């Protein structure tokens, strides 16, 4: 069977089984089904499902094989139905049944939350609670369910915990934002592998503790653990947010050294890092070296040129993207509209907005509407922006501080206090508790010598107790 490459060859092998083995031994079909499932060939698995449905004799092994197969092909509901059929037909379940079954429960957690809990009850009844593979799957399930107390109970019941279980717990605490507990467990681990380190870096990345990500990466290098692609992605992402170009260059050299440059996710992260550090030549060089570009890589380079003020290059690359057959998505158009906004390319931006749905099949969302308001407002087309807010966004109450701020700032810059006054009065009736919106209105009135209105806004800031939220930025020195 190992030499079987096509569906016809698989069918011939099945015919051979039917003729010589199945009449005397119905269970002899098991190797065929196991091979078809393990092959990860969609045609083979579809045939395996057909064979399984027509079997008169189904053993525990066959059911376990199909449950595992359904999970491999992201079909959790049929996997659960297989388990229910086992129970109704009084087929014996064993420890090999539960690991893929619990993974299936994790996949349908949002829709069938109680399913995993009931499977755990079966595990306890049958005495499989100390099986390390089942325990690891349960820890993952409870982590996704944000039930870390239950995950901890499962973990504590296992006397001989391996690195997989320890890592699963670290990952669980990281996913629910309890990074301190994740780090405490990480430090207690009797042994750590590259997955353990990758999990800890990802935990810090989720809570935006980018400095700690890089510190962990440096510690990993010190102890001589070879990084995998996931570790480098986390480290490069941290460099991008910190503007740490020197560290990013070093990590890029490590990616070359280990032969990871062809990894699409890592290459996209490098494009983003170089873009945020203002090194667009390097970003473009990495991008050009990606053999099979996906939406993420295209969006990264488009966004990079947009944030660095080169709108024409973003639009040129967008044409390349479309010509290559890649499908633009919502993120693509946010980048392009932002680029047009900052370059005051009003006509180009409006044309892109109009083509989003009609040509590219991307329905505009709130963030695209906000970009168009900013585009029109910055260009001084305040009446058009006001009309767009009313007609496309459903009125000012459908906006947010970014939309209101863009409009009010433009009113201030272009001296159109009447339009800004209309906006402010609507916001007052909505009792908007945003400090930035209040301050923009105050400055607009103050600079236009509308002193009474300026005092009124100032008083409302004091009455509401509004305060400016401190911002932060990072630069490598």
Question: pLDDT over 90 for what percent of the chain?
Answer: 61
Residue 476 has a pLDDT of: 56
Pick from 310-324, 393-407, 434-448 the range whose average pLDDT is largest: 310-324
Alpha helices for 108-147 (secondary structure H): 113-126, 132-144
**pLDDT given at position 410:** 87
The number of beta carbons lying within 10 Å of the beta carbon of residue 152 is 17
Q: How far apart are CA 297 and CA 312, in angstroms?
A: 18
As a whole number, mean pLDDT of residues 186-203 equals: 96
- Arithmetic mean of pLDDT, 165-175: 94
Domain-wise residue ranges, the chain: 207-291, 392-464
| Confidence check: pLDDT of 46 > 80 | yes
CA of 132: how far to CAs of 143, 158, 159, 194, 402, in Å? 16, 7, 10, 20, 50
The two tokens of residue 197 are 């380190």
pLDDT digits (tens, 9 = 90+) for 175-185: 999 999 999 99
Q: Is the dihedral of CA 216, 473, 440, 468 positive or negative?
A: positive
- What is the pLDDT confidence band of residue 21, given thresholds at 50, 70 and 90? low
- The arithmetic mean of pLDDT across residues 269-286, rounded, is 96
At residue 474, the pLDDT reads 53
> What pLDDT digit, counting tens, does each position of 419-441 carry?
888 888 888 888 878 888 888 88
pTM above 0.85, yes or no: no
First to last CA, the chain: 61
> Which tens digits make up the pLDDT trace of 103-151?
999 998 887 778 889 999 999 999 998 899 999 999 999 999 999 999 9
Give the range among 191-195, 245-249, 413-417 with minimum mean pLDDT: 413-417
287 has pLDDT over 90: yes
Average pLDDT, the chain: 89
* pLDDT at residue number 20: 65
For residue 321, give Cα distances in angstroms to 37, 123, 316, 410, 430: 37, 51, 9, 33, 43
**Max intra-chain CA distance, the chain:** 99
pLDDT of residue 211: 96
Percent of the chain whose pLDDT exceeds 70: 96
pLDDT at residue 281 in the model: 96
Cα angle for residues 89, 92, 93 (degrees, 5° grid): 110
Q: How far apart are CA 193 and CA 237, in angstroms?
A: 21
Q: Which residue has the higher pLDDT, 61 or 15?
A: 61
Token pair of 359 as six digits = 């040509």
CB 392 within 8 A of CB 376: no
| pLDDT-based confidence at residue 24 (cuts at 50, 70, 90) | low
- How many CB atoms are closer than 10 A to CB 226? 10
């Amino acid at each position: 069977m190992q030499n079987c490459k096509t569906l016809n060859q698989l069918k011939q092998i099945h015919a051979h089984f039917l003729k010589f083995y199945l009449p005397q031994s119905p269970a002899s079909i098991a190797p065929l089904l196991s091979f078809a499932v393990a092959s990860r060939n969609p045609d083979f698995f579809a045939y395996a499902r057909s064979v399984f449905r027509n079997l008169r004799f189904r053993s525990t092994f066959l059911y376990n094989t199909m449950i595992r197969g359904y999970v491999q092909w992201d079909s959790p509901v049929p996997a659960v139905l297989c388990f229910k059929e086992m129970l109704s037909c009084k087929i014996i379940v064993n420890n090999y049944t539960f690991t893929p079954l619990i993974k299936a429960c994790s996949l349908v957690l949002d829709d069938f939350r109680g399913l995993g809990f009931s499977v755990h009850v079966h595990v306890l009844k049958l005495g499989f609670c100390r099986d390390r593979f089942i325990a690891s799957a349960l820890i993952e399930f409870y982590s996704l369910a944000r039930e870390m107390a239950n995950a901890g109970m499962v973990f504590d019941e296992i006397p001989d915990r391996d690195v997989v279980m320890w890592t699963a717990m670290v990952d669980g605490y990281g996913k629910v934002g309890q990074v301190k507990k994740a780090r405490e467990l990480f430090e207690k681990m009797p042994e750590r592998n590259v997955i353990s380190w990758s999990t800890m870096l990802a935990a810090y990345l989720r809570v935006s503790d980018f400095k700690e990500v890089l510190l962990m990466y440096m510690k990993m290098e010190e102890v001589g653990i070879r990084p995998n692609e996931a570790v480098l992605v986390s480290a490069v992402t941290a460099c991008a947010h910190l503007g740490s170009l020197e560290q990013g260059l070093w990590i890029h050299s490590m990616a070359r050294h280990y032969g990871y440059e062809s990894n699409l996710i890592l290459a996209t992260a490098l494009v983003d890092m170089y873009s945020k550090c203002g090194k667009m030549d390097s970003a473009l060089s990495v991008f050009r070296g990606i053999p099979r570009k996906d939406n993420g890589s295209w969006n990264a380079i488009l966004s990079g040129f947009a944030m660095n003020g080169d709108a024409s290059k973003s639009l040129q690359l967008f044409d390349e993207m479309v010509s290559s057959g890649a499908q633009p998505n919502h993120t693509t158009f946010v980048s392009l509209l932002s680029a047009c906004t900052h370059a005051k390319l009003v006509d180009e931006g409006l044309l892109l907005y109009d083509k989003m749905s009609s040509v590219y099949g991307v329905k505009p969302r709130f963030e695209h509407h906000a970009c168009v308001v900013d585009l029109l407002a910055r260009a001084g087309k305040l009446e058009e922006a006001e009309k767009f807010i009313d007609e496309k966004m459903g009125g000012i109450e459908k906006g947010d501080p970014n939309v209101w701020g863009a409009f009010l700032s433009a009113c201030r810059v272009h001296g159109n206090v009447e339009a800004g006054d209309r906006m402010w009065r609507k916001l007052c009736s909505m009792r908007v508790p945003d400090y930035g919106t209040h301050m923009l209105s105050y400055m607009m009135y103050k600079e236009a010598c509308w002193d009474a209105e300026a005092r009124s806004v100032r008083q409302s800031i004091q009455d509401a107790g509004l305060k400016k939220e401190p911002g932060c930025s990072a630069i490598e020195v």
